[in-house]
Amino acid sequence: MFCCKEEQQRRKDERNLFFIMLLLGTGSLLLFNAMITPVNFWTHTIPDFNVLFYISFAFNSQQLVGAFVMMKWGNKWSINKRVWISLIVELFSLVLIPSIPTKITNQTTALILVLIVTVITSNAAGILQSTVYSMGGSLGEHFSVAAMSGAGGAGLVMEIIRIITQAAMSRDDQIISGTIIYFILAGLILISCLIAFEVARRIPRAHQTILLMHGSVVGEIVTIDIQQDPEEPVIEVLSSPGEVMKKIWLDCISVFFVFFISLTLFPGVTNMVTSASFTDPDWFSIWNMSCFMVGDMIGRTLPRFVVLWGRNVNIAVIFIRLIFFPLFILQVKEILHNDFLLYSTMVVFSVSNGYTSSVAMMNGPTQVEKKDQPIAGTLMTVFLASGLFAGSLFALALNAILS
C-alpha cells in the first residue's frame, strides 16, 4: 500500500512538473512575443519606423549576450536568483515599454528609449531561457519538450490576449488603453511563473536538478541523489564545454539554422505581406501572426508524441526550409498574391520551425551523461540565441532591400 501511494505521488509530481516546465517555457519567451504582437500599437505610436525589425534585432542580440554570460558565470548564481531577478526585470519592462511611446512624442527618441529597455531586459530573458532549457534538459526529454512547447505557446498566449483586447477596444482612440491592458495581463502570466517555480522547488526531482545545476562547474560537481543520504554527496568530474560540444555539435548547428531562417523572415518580412481579401490591416496582422503562433506551438509539442526522424534527417529538413525565403519575398512583392497560399506557407513554415527546433533541443542533452546535461543545455541555448541574433541581423538587411 505504501509503495502504491509513493508511486501515485511520484506520478502526480511528474505531471505537475511537466506543466510547471510548460509555464516556465512560456515565461522564457513571453517578453519578446509581448513586444512584437501589438503591431497596430507600434504603427500608431511610432509610424515612421518598422519597429518590429528593430525590436527583434535589439532583443535577440542581447539575448545572445545573456546566454554567453550564463555559460561563463551562470554556475556562480543560484537558480533562485536567476529566475527571480530575470522575471522581476521583465515585469518592470512590461510597465516601461508601453509607457515610453505614449508619453514621448518624438518618434526617434521614443524608439531609442524602447530599444534601450529592450536591450536591458533581453539580457534577463536570455538568462531565464538558458536556465529553463538547461533545467528541462537535465530533467529529461519529456520536460525539455515541455519547455520548448511552452516557449512556442508564449506567442499563442499573447496573440489570444491581443485578439481579446483588440475585439473589446477596436476603435483608434482605444489602441493605447487596450495595449496597456494587454501588457498588464502579460505581467500576470510572469507572476504566475514565479509562483510555479516556487512550487517546483518543493518537488523532489526538480529540487535535485536545481542542486545539480547550481553546482555545474567544470572540474567537479556535488550531486545529491534523492535515493541516497544527503549527508553523503557523490563527487563527479564534469566534462569541459569543448568535450560536450564534440558530442552535440550536430544538434547545436541544427538549432542555430532553424532560428536563423525563422528570425530572418518572422516577424518582420512576414508582416510586410499584404492580404488579397482582408480590408482591415490590424486584424490581418493579428490573424497572420496567430497562424504562425498556433503552428509553432503544434510543431513544438508533436515530438512529445512522435519523433519522425533522427538527427541527420532533422538538419536536412532544416536546410530544405530555405525555400521559404523566395516564397515570402515573392508574396511581399505581390508576384504571388493569394491568401490561401499565404496561410498554407505560414502553417508549414511555423510547424516545421517548432518541430525541428524541438527535436534538436531534445536530442542534444541525450548525447551526454546525466552530469553533463546542464552544460549541454546551456550550449544548445547559446547556439539557439546565436541563430536568433544572426537571423534578426540578416532581417535588417532584407528589410532595407525589400523596402
C-alpha 336/C-alpha 352 separation (Å) is 22
Q: What pLDDT is attached to residue 345?
A: 94
CA-CA-CA-CA torsion sign (248, 57, 399, 29): positive
Q: What pLDDT is attached to residue 348?
A: 96
Whether residue 220 is predicted with pLDDT greater than 60 in this model: the reply is no
Instruction: Tell me the mean pLDDT in the region 163-180.
Output: 82
Using DSSP's 3-state secondary structure scheme, residue 368 falls into coil
Lowest mean pLDDT among 42-51, 235-244, 350-359: 235-244
Radius of gyration of the chain from its Cα atoms, rounded to whole angstroms: 21
C-alpha 205/C-alpha 373 separation (Å) is 15
C-alpha 119/C-alpha 18 separation (Å) is 31
Task: Place 67 in a pLDDT band, splitting at 50, 70 and 90.
Answer: low
Chain segment 173-188, per-residue pLDDT in tens: 788 888 999 999 999 9
Name the residue among 31, 161, 22 with its Cα closest to residue 89. 31
- Residue appearing with cell numbers 538549432: 255
Instruction: Tell me the mean pLDDT in the region 343-372.
Output: 89
Q: What pLDDT is attached to residue 212?
A: 60
Percent of the chain with pLDDT over 90: 30
Lowest mean pLDDT among 30-34, 59-63, 101-105, 328-332: 59-63
C-alpha 63/C-alpha 119 separation (Å) is 8
* Number of residues that this document lists for the chain: 403
Whether residue 364 is predicted with pLDDT greater than 90 in this model: the reply is no
Q: What pLDDT is attached to residue 16?
A: 86
- Residue appearing with cell numbers 535577440: 60
C-alpha 128/C-alpha 250 separation (Å) is 24
Using DSSP's 3-state secondary structure scheme, residue 236 falls into strand
Name the residue among 402, 296, 303 with its Cα closest to residue 350. 296
Instruction: Tell me the mean pLDDT in the region 332-354.
Output: 91
- What burial letters (b/e) apply to 131-152, b meaning 16+ CB within 10 Å? bbbbbbbbbbbebbbbbbbbbb
Chain segment 239-285, per-residue pLDDT in tens: 788 888 999 999 999 999 999 999 899 888 888 888 888 777 777 87
C-alpha cell at position 275: 492580404
C-alpha cell at position 164: 481579446
Which CATH number does 2-402 carry? Answer: 1.20.1250.20
Instruction: Tell me the mean pLDDT in the region 381-397.
Output: 86
